[in-house]
Chains A and B, each alone.
Chain A
Amino acid sequence: QKEVEQNSGPLSVPEGAIASLNCTYSDRGSQSFFWYRQYSGKSPELIMSIYSNGDKEDGRFTAQLNKASQYVSLLIRDSQPSDSATYLCALTNTGNQFYFGTGTSLTVIP
């Protein structure tokens, strides 16, 4: 079982809609969770971090963490074409090891 699982997509949403990206993980003791955005041909860029259960909002982005169900999600409100990218979920597990998911490709259609 992989440490981090993501649906590779592609996920397509119309401009202005809410994009929902999901990630599940296997190590129940994982502590820290991150969302990275990677544009084609570019490096991963940190957009959100979350450490405790619940929601964390930053502008149009909301990260949600549910440790009991072992999932973390990223919501993008009012999606824009510039949000089109691959979104990588990452975490550190109980062994303090850092893992990335394989990423979900998002396309926002104008």
Chain B
Amino acid sequence: DAGVIQSPRHEVTEMGQEVTLRCKPISGHNSLFWYRQTMMRGLELLIYFNNNVPIDDSGMPEDRFSAKMPNASFSTLKIQPSEPRDSAVYFCASSRTGGGNQPQHFGDGTRLSIL
């Protein structure tokens, strides 16, 4: 079975530009999570969806960040406008439930650099 698929793997752009990260969860998983990881702050949960509905977006740092899940097989995380402090690795993960006794499975991540 295919794992969680993220694109792009790497993104380098100038500050002020719009950035869109994409994620395809594992088929049959109904929960999807977006994380950001930096050396300073570790792994931070930004938002998670259950059955395509956003459940908890309290980790989204600012209004510049938005996430959507239009269907069960696709989600996007958008940053507009981007800033250098947004540079990090962004992971998408999915699980079978809303975070209960089922573990999360991670994609390979998107390494984002904002110049």
A103→B101 contact, CB < 8 A = no
Q: Which of A18-26, A42-50, A74-82 contacts B (4 or more CB under 8 A)?
A: A42-50
**Residue with the highest number of chain B CB atoms closer than 10 Å, among A90, A98, A100:** A98
Chain A 38-62, CB-CB to B under 8 Å as 1, else 0, gives 0000111110010100000000000
Query: Given that A98-B45, A100-B43 are known contacts, is A92 also in contact with B107, CB under 8 Å in the complex?
Result: no
Chain B 65-90, CB-CB to A under 8 Å as 1, else 0, gives 00000000000000000000000000
Bound CA–CA A51/B99 (angstroms): 14
B100→A92 contact, CB < 8 A = yes
Q: What is the CB-to-nearest-CB distance from B101 to chain A, in angstroms, rounded to a whole number?
A: 4
B101→A32 contact, CB < 8 A = yes
Bound CA–CA A42/B9 (angstroms): 11
Top 10 nearest A-B pairs by Cβ distance? A43-B106, A98-B99, A32-B101, A102-B42, A100-B43, A46-B103, A34-B103, A44-B106, A43-B109, A92-B99
